[in-house]
């Protein structure tokens, strides 16, 4: 007769609970002793029976030393070293429910993956797998429709790009009607305005040169009309010889 598998839950009967603890305690201590010898590790066990009796076991190192090493570890390492963290202490029913949900999710994702692969095969058909002309015609029609959509989309994007480029290259009229009228007044019709324009500029240039050249002060006294006549007579007498009287 085989052994009956004990359901993992709290034993309600006090006597049975104490008996089970005594049996399992001895087996646990035996396993701990074997593990400490075979693997050369430091191990320590502290157990309290249902009647609050203490049971201890340690290998080659004292229990106090083993627990001191554990306490001196950083908090993060102590939390990660727990063999039974709180999240693993869930009831089996909740764990089974989560497993079923995950299995359904995996099946759903596998179906989506299969549909996506079939959709991709439409655009990358394998002609070797075709066995009838109908399959060839269907595949050809799908590829032509896709190519038509691609060409239409390309033309649409190109037209939008060209229209935006033309709008950006257009220069706005900076002047306006007033500036154009003034410029037209400056332009010559038959050459008359151009002549006056150059004459005015020449006159302005002449005035500016005279203004830039200040009058020089001379130390020579001014020449009057009388002094000029006397100077000419003296020159004539010098050049013409005098006739001597006989």
Tell me, what's the pLDDT at 217? 47
First CA to last CA distance, the chain: 197
The owner of tokens 């400490």 is 36
Q: What one-character DSSP code corresponds to residue 45?
A: E
Rg for the chain (alpha carbons), in Å? Answer: 60
Q: Rounded to 5 degrees, what are φ and ψ at 93?
A: -65, -40
Say if residue 141's pLDDT is above 50: yes
77: confidence class by pLDDT, cuts 50, 70, 90:
confident
Count of beta carbons in the 10 Å neighbourhood of residue 42: 14
In the numeric block, the tokens 């989506």 are attached to: 112
Predicted confidence (pLDDT) at residue 244 exceeds the cutoff of 50: no
pLDDT band at 109 (very low <50, low <70, confident <90, very high): very high
Res. 180: pLDDT tops 70: no
Please say if the pLDDT value at position 16 is more than 70.
Answer: yes
**Model-level pTM?**
0.32
Instruction: Report yes or no: 53 and 47 within 8 Å, Cβ to Cβ.
Output: no
* Average model confidence (pLDDT) across the chain: 72
What is the DSSP track for 86-119? Answer: GGG---HHHHHHHHHHHHHHHHHHHHHHHHHHHH
Count other C-beta atoms under 10 Å from residue 8's C-beta: 6
Asked whether the predicted pLDDT for residue 139 surpasses 80, the reply is: yes
Amino acid 205: pLDDT:
47
Q: Which residues of 56-71 are buried (b: 16+ CB within 10 A; e: fewer)?
A: ebbbeeebeebeeeee
pLDDT at 154: 92
Q: In which band, very low, low, confident or very high, does the pLDDT at 95 lie, cut at 50, 70 and 90?
A: confident
* Range 98-112 average pLDDT: 92
pLDDT-based confidence at 60, cuts 50/70/90?
Answer: confident
């Amino acid at each position: 007769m085989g052994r009956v598998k004990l359901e993992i839950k709290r034993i309600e009967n006090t006597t049975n609970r104490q008996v089970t603890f005594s049996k399992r305690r001895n087996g646990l201590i035996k396993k701990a002793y074997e593990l400490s010898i075979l693997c050369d590790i430091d191990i320590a066990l502290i157990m309290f029976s249902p009647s609050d009796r203490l049971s201890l076991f340690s290998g080659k190192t004292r229990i106090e030393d083993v627990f001191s090493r554990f306490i001196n570890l950083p908090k993060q390492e102590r939390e990660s070293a727990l063999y039974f963290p709180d999240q693993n202490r869930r009831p089996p029913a909740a764990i089974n429910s989560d497993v079923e949900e995950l299995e359904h999710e995996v099946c759903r994702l596998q179906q989506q993956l299969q549909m996506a692969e079939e959709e991709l095969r439409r655009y990358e058909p394998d002609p070797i797998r075709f066995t009838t002309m109908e399959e060839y015609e269907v595949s050809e029609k799908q590829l032509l429709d896709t190519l038509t959509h691609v060409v239409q989309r390309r033309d649409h994007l190109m037209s939008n790009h060209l229209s935006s480029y033309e709008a950006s290259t257009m220069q706005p009229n900076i002047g306006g009607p007033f500036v154009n009228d003034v410029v037209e007044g400056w332009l010559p019709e038959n050459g008359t305005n151009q002549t006056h324009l150059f004459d005015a500029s020449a006159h302005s240039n002449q005035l500016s040169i005279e203004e830039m050249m200040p009058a020089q002060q001379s130390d020579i006294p001014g020449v009057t009309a009388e002094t000029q006549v006397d100077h000419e007579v003296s020159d004539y007498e010098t050049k013409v010889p005098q006739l001597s009287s006989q």
